[in-house]
Amino acid sequence: MTNPILELRDVSAEYGPFRALFGVSLTIEPGASLALLGANGAGKTTVARVASGLVSASSGSVFVDGVDMTTKRTYEFAQAGLAHAPEGRSVFATFTVEENLVLSFRRALGRRGVPAAVEEAYALFPRLGERRRQIAGTLSGGEQRMLSLARVLVEKPRLLIADELSLGLAPIVVDEVYETLSSIRGTGTALLIVEQHVHHALELCDEVALLDHGTISWRGPSAEATEAVVNHLFDSGDR
């Protein structure tokens, strides 16, 4: 039996004086795909951050491939094959577009793999290809989002964690990103998708977990995530 690529066991986490997660347990098998849905403030982003090692759990444990990673540093999560595209404009603002890509690809794919990967990224987002020498901080918000996504989409990690994937992207670009996601899903990459756009996420992922006030309130196959389940979640979500 293979170990799940990611397992959170009874994880709690805090944000300053506020408790953000209360005993969340979650497993993702290799190649599986999970959509994490929930109202704002439910703790979705914190789950994504715990999963990639950005935030450490105040209690509970995090396993990657069956290895306890609870106290490990963020880079060790990345080296274990977890790639996280954080929400917002997560690019190196003073780097050029190309430097942003090279920095990440060089570690993940080795020196030889870099040129091909960079070209692949430009093929995925032609707008970036037109601006390869531009300083990333001067890109528009959506373009920065593309750059941040290009990094993780091209690397084909073992687990891809994407937070608020479609935020700030034009609908037509969101379509493209989801197409790419469903194609890399076929290559064995597991997905953890945090989304507001419920429909896209449900279409893409096999499984859904609903997060409500820092705990998982429902988990099941996407097909069973009826309108009612999802709506209930959002109705109870306002604080």
Partner 1 sequence: MNAILESHGITKDFSGIRALNGVDINVGEGERVGLIGPNGAGKTTFFNCLLGILTPDAGTVQFRGNDISNLRVHKRARAGIGRTFQRIELFSDTSVREHLLIAERVHNGSGAFWKDLLGMGRPTAVEIERCDDVLELLGLRELGDEPIEALSLGQGRLVEVGRALMTEPRLLLLDEPSSGLDREETAALAATLREVQAEKGFAILLVEHDVELVSKFTERLYVLDFGSLIAQGPTAETLSDPAVRRAYLGTLEVDSEVGSD
Partner 2 sequence: MILASFGEDLIRAILQGTPPGTVYALIGLGFVLTYKTSGVFNLAFGAQAYISAAMFFKARQDWEWGIVPALILSVFVLAPAIGLILERLIFRNLRTASAVSKLVIAIGLSVALPALFEIVADYKPVAGRSPTGIVPNGSSVFYDPLGVYPFSRDELAQIAVAVLGMLLLGAIFRFTAAGLAMRAVVESPRMTELAGIPADRISALAWAISSMFAGMAGVLIAPRLPTLISTDFFTLVIVAMAAAALGRLVSLPRALIGGLGLGWFIAIFRTFLPRWSDDYTWLEPFEDNLAPSLPFVVLFGVLVFWPAIRRSIDATDPLSGVDPPPPALASSTRHPLLTMQTRAFGVAFFLLVGWLAFFRADGRWVFLLTQAVILSIIYLSITVITGFAGQISLCQGAFAAIGGFTVFQMADRYDMSVLLAALIGAFIAALVGALLSLPVLRLGGVWLAIATLAFAFFFDAVMVQASWVGGGGTALLSGTEVPRPVLGPIDFGASDRTFLALAIVVFIIVAIGVIQLREGTIGRTLRALRGSEVAAESIGISPARARIIAFAVSAFIAGLGGALLSMQQKNVNYSTNFSPVAALFWLVLVVSLSARTVEGAGQAGFAFALFGPLILEGSLLEWLPFLNEDNLPSFFPISAKWRFVLFGLTAIQFARHPEGMLEFGKRRATHKRNERYYARDAARAAAAELAQ
Enumerate residues 19-58 that contact partner 2 by CB under 8 A. 49, 52-55
Provide the binding-site residues for partner 1, judged by CB under 8 A.
39-41, 88, 127, 138-143, 145-146, 164, 167-176, 196, 198, 234-235, 237-239
Nearest one of 100, 161, 108, 160 to 125, comparing CA atoms? 100
Looking at the Cβ atoms of 14 and 206, the one nearer to partner 2 is 14
Number of residues interacting with partner 2: please give it, by CB under 8 A.
35
Tell me the pairing of strands 215-221 and 207-212: antiparallel
For partner 2, what does the binding mask look like between residues 139 and 158, x meaning CB under 8 A? ------------x-------
Output the smallest distance, CB 227 to partner 2, in A: 32
Nearest one of 44, 54, 100 to 78, comparing CA atoms? 54
Q: Which does 235 bind (CB under 5 to 8 A by kind): partner 1, partner 2, none?
A: partner 1
Looking at the Cβ atoms of 104 and 166, the one nearer to partner 1 is 166
Measured between alpha carbons, how far is 45 from 102 in angstroms, rounded to an integer? 26
Looking at the Cβ atoms of 50 and 149, the one nearer to partner 1 is 149
Contacts for 194 with CB less than 8 Å, ≥ 6 apart: 35, 36, 44, 45, 47, 48, 87, 161, 162, 163, 164, 165
Q: Which does 173 bind (CB under 5 to 8 A by kind): partner 1, partner 2, none?
A: partner 1
Looking at the Cβ atoms of 11 and 139, the one nearer to partner 1 is 139
DSSP type of residue 148: H
Q: Is 107 in the site for partner 2 (CB under 8 A)?
A: yes
Partner residues linked to 6 by β-bridges: 28, 64
Measured between alpha carbons, how far is 142 from 119 in angstroms, rounded to an integer? 20
State which of residues 93, 123, 170, 223 lies at the interface with partner 2 (CB under 8 A).
93
Partner residues linked to 24 by β-bridges: 11
Measured between alpha carbons, how far is 7 from 9 in angstroms, rounded to an integer? 6
Enumerate residues 64-83 that contact partner 2 by CB under 8 A. 73-75, 78-79, 83
Q: What residue type is 27 in one-letter code?
A: T
Measured between alpha carbons, how far is 189 from 175 in angstroms, rounded to an integer? 19
Looking at the Cβ atoms of 47 and 225, the one nearer to partner 2 is 47
**Residue ranges that bind partner 2, judged by CB under 8 A:** 15-18, 49, 52-55, 73-75, 78-79, 83-84, 86, 88-95, 99, 102-104, 106-108, 111, 137, 151
